[in-house]
């Protein structure tokens, strides 16, 4: 359910970026730009904001997880690879849901 709600937010954000660049996309299409080039134009700004959100969320997520794990008798260390993998999955979902 959370992934569905987040994907709807990403869809809204990608629609917002497309509306902002509507005239530029039209001009580029008339001048012969390929669909791949136009998609790269839209994804460039979109992915930048997803990366910024990940970098902002990693320290908060690490702190919250560390505090939560302190309540358990058997503790485990939080691996940085978990955050990196979550960032890659987020980029994948953000790219293909928009």
CB of 11 within 8 A of CB of 97? yes
Task: Provide mean pLDDT across the span 56-71.
Answer: 90
Check pLDDT > 80 for residue 62.
Answer: yes
Contacts of 78 (CB under 8 A, 6+ apart): 62, 65, 66, 69
Check residue 63 and give its pLDDT: 92
Domain boundaries, the chain: 2-97
Q: What residue has token string 């839209």? A: 42
Sign of CA dihedral 53, 59, 64, 66: positive
CB of 75 within 8 A of CB of 69? yes
Check residue 60 and give its pLDDT: 93
């Amino acid at each position: 359910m959370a992934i569905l709600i987040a994907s709807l937010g990403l869809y809204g954000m990608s629609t917002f970026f497309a509306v902002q660049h509507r005239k530029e996309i039209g001009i580029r299409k008339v001048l012969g730009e390929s669909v791949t080039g136009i998609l790269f134009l839209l994804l460039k700004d979109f992915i930048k904001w997803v990366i910024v959100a990940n970098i902002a969320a990693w320290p908060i997520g690490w702190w919250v997880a560390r505090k939560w794990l302190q309540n358990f008798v058997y503790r485990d260390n939080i691996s940085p690879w978990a955050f990196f993998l979550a960032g890659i999955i987020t980029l994948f979902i953000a790219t293909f849901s928009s």
